C-alpha cells in the first residue's frame, strides 16, 4: 500500500484525488496539505506540510506555482518523492525543484493526462519529420474559468516544436494576429487560446502543408484523466533513484530530454 499525501487537497484536483485514491487497492491517502487545517472528505488536511510529509511514501501536488517549490524543499528534507501537476511555475521555481531532484525523485508535468503525454511524444516525432515542409500552429480550448493563456500544455507543445526546429520558443511564438501583419514566416509558431463554457481541455497541433494537413488532437472529457495520470506517476516514482523524471518516463516513451 502506497501512503500518499495530497498537496492542494481542498482544490478541485485535490478533491478528486482523495476520492479516486480510496478506490485504488494499491494506494492509501493518509492526509492532505492546504491553507486550512481540518477534516475534509474524511481525511485530515494540514496547514503545515511537515506534519504529514514525513509519514508519506509519496506526495502528489496540485497546489500553486508559488507553493510547489517550497513543497519540493520540504520533500527534499524528508527524502520523499514528489509528483507535481501544478502549472505556471516560473523559471526560478523550476530551478529550485531541479536542485531538489539531486536528492529525491521528482515528476513535474503541466498535464498529467496519459493521452496528452503521448501527444507530446507524437508532436516531437511529427515535427522532426515535417519541420521543413509544413507550417505548424497550436490551438487550445478551455473553460471560461481558466486564468492563464496559453495553457501550460500548449506552451509545452510549443517548446517541443521550437526545440526540434532549433528555435528559441520566446522568439518564435505568436499568440495573436490582427491587422496587416504580413505573410506568415517559416519561423513563426502560432499558439491560440479559446475560452468558453465548461471545456475541460482540448489541444490541437496542426501541420499545414502545400497539399495536405495533419492534425494531432487530444480532448479531455473529465478532469479525472489528470488524476489517474498522477496516480500512475506516483506508483512509478516510489522507489526510484533521485532525479528529474517526466511522464514520458512513466509511459516508457523515448523522447529528447528537457
Per-residue pLDDT of 159-168, as tens digits, reads 999 999 999 9
Q: What is the CATH number of the domain that holds 211?
A: 3.30.360.10
Residue 84, pLDDT score: 97
103 within a domain of the structure (yes/no):
yes
Least confident piece of the model among 23-27, 55-59, 63-67, 86-90: 86-90
The yes-or-no answer on residue 98 being catalytic is no
Q: Which of 80, 142, 155, 218 is catalytic?
A: 142
**236 in the same domain as 185:** no
The band of 94, judged by pLDDT with boundaries at 50, 70 and 90, is very high
**70 in the same domain as 133:** no
The yes-or-no answer on residue 50 being catalytic is no
Q: What is the CATH number of the domain that holds 228?
A: 3.40.50.720
- Domain range for 77 is 2-112+223-251
**118 in the same domain as 108:** no
Q: In the chain, how many H helices and how many E strands? A: 9, 13
200 within a domain of the structure (yes/no):
yes
Q: Domains in the chain: how many in total? A: 2
Q: How far is CA 161 from the centre of its chain?
A: 17
205 within a domain of the structure (yes/no):
yes
Bigger pLDDT: 110 or 69? 69
d(CA 163, CA 174): 16
pLDDT average, residue stretch 15-36: 95
> pLDDT averaged over the chain?
95
82-84/105-108 β-pairing: parallel
pTM of the model: 0.83
Q: Which of 3, 37, 146, 240 is catalytic?
A: 146
256 within a domain of the structure (yes/no):
no
pLDDT in tens, 180-212: 999 999 999 999 999 999 999 999 999 999 999
**129 in the same domain as 88:** no
**82 in the same domain as 70:** yes
Amino acid at each position: 500500500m502506497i501512503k500518499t499525501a495530497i498537496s492542494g487537497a481542498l482544490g478541485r484536483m485535490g478533491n478528486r484525488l482523495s476520492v479516486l485514491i480510496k478506490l485504488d487497492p494499491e494506494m492509501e491517502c493518509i492526509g492532505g496539505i492546504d491553507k486550512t487545517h481540518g477534516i475534509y472528505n474524511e481525511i485530515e488536511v494540514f496547514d503545515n506540510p511537515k506534519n504529514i510529509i514525513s509519514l508519506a511514501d509519496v506526495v502528489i501536488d496540485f497546489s500553486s506555482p508559488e507553493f510547489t517549490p517550497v513543497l519540493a524543499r520540504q520533500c527534499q528534507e524528508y527524502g520523499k518523492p514528489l509528483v507535481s501537476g501544478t502549472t505556471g511555475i516560473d523559471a526560478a521555481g523550476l530551478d529550485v525543484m531541479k536542485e531538489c531532484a539531486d536528492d529525491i525523485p521528482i515528476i513535474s508535468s503541466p498535464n498529467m493526462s496519459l493521452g496528452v503525454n503521448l501527444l507530446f511524444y507524437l508532436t516531437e516525432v511529427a515535427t522532426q519529420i515535417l519541420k521543413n515542409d509544413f507550417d505548424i500552429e497550436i490551438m487550445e480550448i478551455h473553460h471560461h474559468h481558466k486564468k492563464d493563456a496559453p495553457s501550460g500544455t500548449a506552451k509545452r507543445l510549443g517548446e517541443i516544436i521550437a526545440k526540434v526546429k532549433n528555435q528559441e520558443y520566446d522568439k518564435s511564438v505568436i499568440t495573436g494576429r490582427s491587422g496587416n501583419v504580413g505573410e506568415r514566416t517559416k519561423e513563426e509558431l502560432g499558439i491560440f487560446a479559446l475560452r468558453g463554457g465548461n471545456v475541460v481541455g482540448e489541444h490541437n497541433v496542426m501541420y499545414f502543408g502545400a497539399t495536405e494537413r495533419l492534425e494531432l488532437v487530444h480532448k479531455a472529457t473529465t478532469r479525472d484523466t489528470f488524476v489517474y495520470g498522477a496516480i500512475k506517476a506516483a506508483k512509478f516514482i516510489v522507489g526510484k533513484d533521485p532525479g528529474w523524471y517526466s511522464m514520458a518516463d512513466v509511459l516508457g516513451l523515448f523522447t529528447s530530454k528537457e
